[in-house]
Structures are given as structure tokens and as C-alpha cells.
């Protein structure tokens, strides 16, 4: 089955960013970007059309329709209409919310937190004004997290870089790792409670695909709801996001101290340059404990080293050539 979306540039950039870890090389001049996961192939064309192919093409297509807020005039063939879960209008719904941080950062771990908002804590949480948690500054995140970490019940997991790289070598992709972490955090948190509240996951994969990632896991929690941008809809997920970010920032600072470098967040040109510098000074293997080695950042960093080498070589050759030229002119005179 094939499903295609015609998107705008910013939406294309979001698609590419989402699948960056699964990028696949291609030689088709009409293809801007291609990615391949265990269950789907995503092809982005220069015309800004995105094609989903594979066993989970339709669920993935539907997920992006929802995430991007696209209105589809004609539904894809063979699409089965499913009843959509009713979104709770109450932002402060007592529930468990789970979210993750660090998946887009070359340096630093992945942190996942499942947090429980109970009825007795709602008034306190309302007073903090945590809506739009993704827009809070790091300083504000730390300030709020320091207050709430002793007030609410939560389960926090950290996937350190060396373990991340080990799992990736074993065939785990980013989403499979996230599924394992969320599942474990939710089960851990439920073990701390004497009842089973509503459980909400900030959706990063279609429901069926999420459970496929966990097919080898013996203990899988299945009674939960999936929502895109869930931190904007439920305070419990916002709490999970804040605590996960807090843990990520703390680990990030420790890694900077341990490495001897001022590590940078994200994955951009400055991060490429820093990674290049570290490789030149410490060697590529040094990064294993500090970075996600499957990121394209690593290839870009090594390319920068090669470019610097050739530029320096050209400068040296130019100096030698000019010196020889001046010597010949001097001898003639």
C-alpha cells in the first residue's frame, strides 16, 4: 500500500527531522530524503511530496495527518475508520503521563519520565503555571522540577550513551528504545501506586507500531491512550516532560565536566564542529560515552576533519609554490 502527502517546506523539515536517525542513502535526483525503519520506508521528493510505503504505511500516514492537522478530502483506499478516543478537556485530569527528552541531541542521554498527577496535587500544580512546558527555558525547568520532584510520584529512566550505542549495534532503532523506556517507566510507576489511573503517552509512533516494538518484551502495559502533543493537553504529561528534561540537563552538565568540553545541545553546525574537534583531540572512540554514534553528526564531523586537512594541504602547497616562484625571480635578477 502507498500513501502520499503533499506538504509545505516547514512540514517537510519536520518530517526529515523526525526520521533523521533512519536516513537511507539514495541516488535518485528527484528524492530529497529517504528513511527506512523496520516497518516503513519514507520518501521525501523535491516536489515536497512524502510517500509512505510498507506494512505500517497507512498508520504512519494517519499519524502525520493528525500531527500536522491536515484535512484529507479523499481518504486512502482500504482505510478502516476507527473510533477516535475522546480527548479530555480537563488539562488537569488525574492521570499518569509519560514523555521523553534527548532524542534529538547528539550529546547526552535519553531520559524518560512517567509522572502521576493525583487529585490532591492539582491545586499545587495549577499554581506553577506549567502549560506550554516545551517552551519553558532550561532555568525555569530546573526551578520547577526542584519543587515538584518531592511532591509527586514518578518513575524516571536514563539511557546513557554507551548503552544507547550498544543497543543500536544490536539493531534497536530510536523508537524501539523509546518504547522500551516508556513501557518500563509506566510499569515501575504503577508499582508505586495502589490503584490504576488513566495512562497517557506522548505519541511518537502509531499505537500498533508501538506495541510491535515491544513484541519481545514479557511484561507490556497496554491499557493506555496515545496523543500527539500530549504535554499541551494533559498536565501529567507536562510533568513527565519537565522531570525528564530536568534529569537530562543534570546528566548533560555531568558529561560536560567529565569530558572536559563544554558540550552543546541539539544537532547542528556548531555541534558538528565540536564533535570534529573532539575526534581530532581524543579520537572517535572517546565519543562513545558522550554521544549517540548513529547520528549523522558523526559523519559530518569526520567530513570536516577531512576538509580541514585538504585546506591546510592546499595552503602549504600554495606557500611552497609562491616561495619557489619568488626564488626563481630572484635568481633571474
Which of 1-5, 85-89, 294-298 is the least confident region?
A: 85-89
User: Bridge-partner residues for 43, per DSSP?
Assistant: 34, 51
Residue 331 has pLDDT above 60, yes or no: no
- For domain 2-68, the CATH class is alpha beta
Give the tens place of pLDDT for each residue, 157-177. 999 999 999 999 998 999 999
Average pLDDT over residues 83-102: 77
d(CA 49, CA 66): 17
For the cut 50, the answer to whether the pLDDT of residue 217 exceeds it is yes
Terminal alpha carbon distance of the chain: 79
pTM: 0.72
Greater pLDDT, 261 or 75? 261
Please give the distance of CA 325 from its chain centroid, rounded to a whole number.
Answer: 55
The confidence score (pLDDT) of residue 40 equals 82
Q: From CA 262, how far away is CA 107, in angstroms rounded?
A: 11
pLDDT at 9: 87
The pLDDT tens digits for 103-145 are 989 999 999 999 999 999 999 998 887 876 677 888 889 989 9
φ, ψ of residue 208 in degrees (nearest 5): -60, -40
Nearest by Cα to 50 from 115, 3, 83, 9: 3
> Mean of the pLDDT values across residues 88-109?
90
User: Per-residue b/e over 57-80, b at no fewer than 16 CB within 10 Å?
Assistant: bbbbbbbbbebeeeeeeeebeeee
Nearest alpha-carbon partner for 133 in 115, 108, 118: 115
Residue 274 has pLDDT above 90, yes or no: yes
**Selection from 111, 97, 106, 103 nearest residue 248 by Cα:** 111
Mean pLDDT computed over 241-254:
96
Q: What is the mean pLDDT of residues 50-61?
A: 82
Q: State residue 310's pLDDT score.
A: 55
- pLDDT for the residue numbered 76: 44
CA-to-CA distance for 283 and 129, rounded, in angstroms?
A: 45
| 215 and 118 Cβ atoms separated by less than 8 Å | no
> Whose grid coordinates read 519537565?
242
Beta bridge pairs of residue 35 = 23, 42
Q: What is the pLDDT of residues 303-327, one digit of tens each?
A: 988 876 555 555 555 555 555 545 4
Q: How confident is the model at residue 228 (pLDDT cuts 50, 70, 90)?
A: confident
CA 101-107-112 angle, to 5 degrees, is 20
Give the confidence band of 81 by pLDDT, cuts at 50, 70, 90. very low
pLDDT tier for residue 206 given thresholds of 50, 70 and 90? confident
CA proximity to 165, closest of 106, 216, 215:
106
- In the chain, what are the domain boundaries? 2-68, 95-258, 267-333
Percent of the chain with pLDDT over 70: 85
CA distance 83 to 228: 16
Tell me what the mean pLDDT of segment 53-67 comes to. Answer: 78
**What distances in angstroms separate CA 121 from CA 62, 99, 198, 232, one per listed residue?**
35, 19, 16, 18
Q: CA-based Rg of the chain, rounded to a whole angstrom?
A: 24
Counting other chains too, the contacts that 20-25 makes at CB distance below 8 Å and 24 or more residues apart are 20/267, 20/295, 20/296, 21/173, 21/174, 21/294, 21/295, 22/173, 22/174, 23/296
Assign domain 95-258 to a CATH class: alpha beta
HEC assignment per residue over 208-256: HHHHHHCCCCCCCCCCCEEECCHHHCCHHHHHHHHHHHHHHHHHHHHHH
> For position 262, what pLDDT does the model report?
96
Q: Closest Cα partner for 243 from 155, 160, 159, 145?
A: 145
- Percentage of the chain modeled with pLDDT above 90: 54
Confidence of residue 67 (pLDDT cuts 50, 70, 90): confident
Residues contacting 132, CB < 8 A, separation 6+: 232
Distance, CA of 89 to CA of 60 (rounded, Å):
26
Amino acid at each position: 500500500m502507498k500513501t502520499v502527502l503533499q506538504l509545505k517546506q516547514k512540514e517537510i523539515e519536520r518530517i526529515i527531522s523526525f526520521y533523521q536517525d533512519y536516513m537511507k542513502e539514495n541516488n535518485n535526483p528527484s528524492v530529497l530524503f529517504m528513511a527506512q525503519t523496520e516497518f516503513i520506508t519514507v520518501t521525501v521528493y523535491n516536489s515536497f511530496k512524502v510517500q509512505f510505503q510498507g506494512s505500517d504505511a497507512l498508520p504512519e500516514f494517519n499519524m502525520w495527518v493528525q500531527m500536522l492537522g491536515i484535512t484529507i478530502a479523499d481518504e486512502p483506499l482500504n482505510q478502516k475508520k476507527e473510533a477516535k478516543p475522546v480527548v479530555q478537556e480537563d488539562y488537569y485530569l488525574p492521570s499518569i503521563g509519560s514523555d521523553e527528552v534527548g532524542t534529538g541531541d547528539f550529546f547526552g542521554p535519553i531520559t524518560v519520565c512517567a509522572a502521576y498527577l493525583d487529585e490532591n496535587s492539582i491545586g499545587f500544580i495549577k499554581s506553577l503555571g506549567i502549560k506550554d512546558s516545551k517552551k519553558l527555558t532550561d532555568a525555569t525547568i530546573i526551578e520547577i522540577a526542584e519543587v515538584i520532584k518531592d511532591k509527586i510520584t514518578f518513575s524516571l529512566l536514563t539511557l546513557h550513551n554507551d548503552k544507547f550505542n550498544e543497543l543500536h549495534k544490536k539493531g534497536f532503532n530510536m523508537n524501539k528504545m523509546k518504547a522500551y523506556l516508556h513501557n518500563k517507566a509506566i510499569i515501575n510507576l504503577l508499582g508505586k501506586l495502589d490503584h490504576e489511573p488513566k495512562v497517557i503517552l506522548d505519541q511518537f509512533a502509531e499505537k500498533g507500531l508501538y506495541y510491535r516494538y515491544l513484541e519481545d518484551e514479557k511484561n507490556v502495559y497496554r491499557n493506555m491512550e496515545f496523543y500527539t502533543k500530549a504535554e499541551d493537553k494533559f498536565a501529567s504529561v507536562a510533568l513527565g516532560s519537565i522531570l525528564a528534561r530536568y534529569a537530562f540537563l543534570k546528566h548533560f552538565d555531568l558529561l560536560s565536566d567529565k569530558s572536559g568540553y563544554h558540550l552543546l545541545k541539539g544537532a547542528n553546525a556548531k555541534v558538528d564542529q565540536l564533535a570534529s574537534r573532539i575526534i581530532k583531540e581524543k579520537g572517535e572512540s572517546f565519543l562513545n560515552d558522550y554521544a549517540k554514534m548513529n547520528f549523522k553528526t558523526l559523519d559530518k564531523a569526520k567530513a570536516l576533519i577531512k576538509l580541514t586537512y585538504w585546506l591546510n594541504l592546499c595552503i602549504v602547497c600554495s606557500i611552497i609554490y609562491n616561495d619557489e616562484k619568488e626564488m626563481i625571480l630572484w635568481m633571474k635578477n
